[in-house]
Structure 1
């Protein structure tokens, strides 16, 4: 389970909206001066906060600190679906068009068509996954706001 601390900003039926702080590892990277993320950090873009809808069966209030979690396999499958699948389909469609000895503009259009088809598939799959509670982030626990009373 991948965990992230956050703060409840809104309540929903069976869920809460949690604001998390986006973090980067640029302070530990030797290439931070030559990368786009390092530039974004120096411009202060990294100070943005993320908003997550997490399923919750706890009685929470706005402002409560929580720990949100998501299963590793869900995150990995989502990353493959969003990042790798469109690239593979783009390359496969362009390769197929090239194997058929078509002209270069047709190969380019075939690659773009494959990318568009995979984008439609990812969009359709993400809409279906939005309704599946097994694929949603969950509130694992609430954090104490102050010192515990004896």
Structure 2
């Protein structure tokens, strides 16, 4: 289980919204300011809000600004990462290869690659919409750390 600390920002009857405290590895990395990850983190500038299911915890004692620990299974994170990053890349290469086998035009190969990339992104988006309410892939509340 991968765990993350966050702050409750809203409560619902069947779950809660948690603002995660994003930690960057930039301070310990040898590249320091030469990496795009740190630049993107500074550019975004705001924490992410995540809808969390209560799991086995009682959310009736929670209030906004309470600190909590949320978790998600490792395999869900790995499969999601592969779906989001690897599938569009594989379909990009497959689209380019298929277009190259049909035509030797660079424009056609580029269009085939773009269609493959778009198709991979579309499949990932559809998967996300289908599994939106699947409790197996949603983060769950593990424990409450503090009251506000």
Count residues in correspondence: 144
Q: Give the Cα separation in 2 of the matches to 1:19 and 1:67.
A: 11
Residue 75 of structure 2: aligned partner: 73
Residue 121 of structure 1: aligned partner: 123
Report the TM-score, using the length of structure 1 for normalisation: 0.87
Unpaired runs of 5+ residues, structure 1, are none
Q: Give the Cα separation in 2 of the matches to 1:62 and 1:101.
A: 59
CA RMSD of aligned residues (A): 1.8
Distance 1:119 1:27, change over 3 A: same
1:88-103, aligned counterparts within 5 Å?
Answer: 88-103=90-105
Report the TM-score, using the length of structure 2 for normalisation: 0.88
Residue 111 of structure 1: aligned partner: 113
Q: Deviations over 1:72-112 (max 9, x none)?
A: 00011111101110010000110121123431100110111
> Would you say 1:37 and 2:31 are equivalent positions?
no
1:119 offset after TM fit, Å? 1.4
Unpaired runs of 5+ residues, structure 2, are none
1:23 offset after TM fit, Å? 1.1
Larger Rg: 1
Q: Give the Cα separation in 2 of the matches to 1:5 and 1:38.
A: 20
Q: Give the Cα separation in 1 of the matches to 2:83 and 2:9.
A: 29
